[in-house]
Amino acid sequence: MKSAFRVMIAFALGGPLAALAKDAPLSTVITPAPAPGYSIQNCVHPLDGTKVEPTAVGYQFWFADSALAGGKTVKLSVVGPHLATHAPHRHPEDEFFFVLEGTAEYFLDGEHRTVGPQTLLYCPSWHLHGIRNVGDTELKYLVIKKYERAAPPPAANVVRVPGAAELPAAVHKP
């Protein structure tokens, strides 16, 4: 039984840690070293009014920009009543929206859903999506995304324009 358990642990861990798990006693916990360069000083990010960026429809604040943690980001977006930051679009990254305040209409691949606070919205990569404020008060939501080099879009998401390079639909503006 212990041998089968070790094989399952080794399979789950994969890589160099798997070899350690095969020979480690069951009471041993294998933990990788912490990522270097982080401390409490650069891991706590309160809202800072001096770093808020105005937008055409409200403002935004990057709690964590792409330089902090290997491309992982958290941004606060605030949108005025009956406005949207931008039209529906596509991009290679998965994206989460977490509604904090207000009423949002979420658009995903031609479908719409109206949601309120404490709602998580998910958009898989390359899906056409958007979020807009359909309420009479500010809409506040977090955008959680990891920027990384991604695979090119599936062929269905490529716009073909005679004489032009192929561009993902999010980039092409007819």
Q: How far is C-alpha 123 from the chain's CA centre?
A: 9
Which domains does the chain show, CATH number per domain?
Answer: 1-32 (no CATH), 40-146 (2.60.120.10)
107-148 pLDDT, tens digit per residue, is 999 999 999 999 999 999 999 999 999 999 999 999 999 987
61-115 pLDDT, tens digit per residue, is 999 998 888 899 999 999 999 999 999 999 999 999 999 999 999 999 999 999 9
Max Cα–Cα distance, the chain, nearest Å: 65
Burial class (CB in 10 A: 0-12, 13-18, 19+), 15: exposed
- With bands split at pLDDT 50, 70 and 90, how would you rate the model's confidence at 2? low
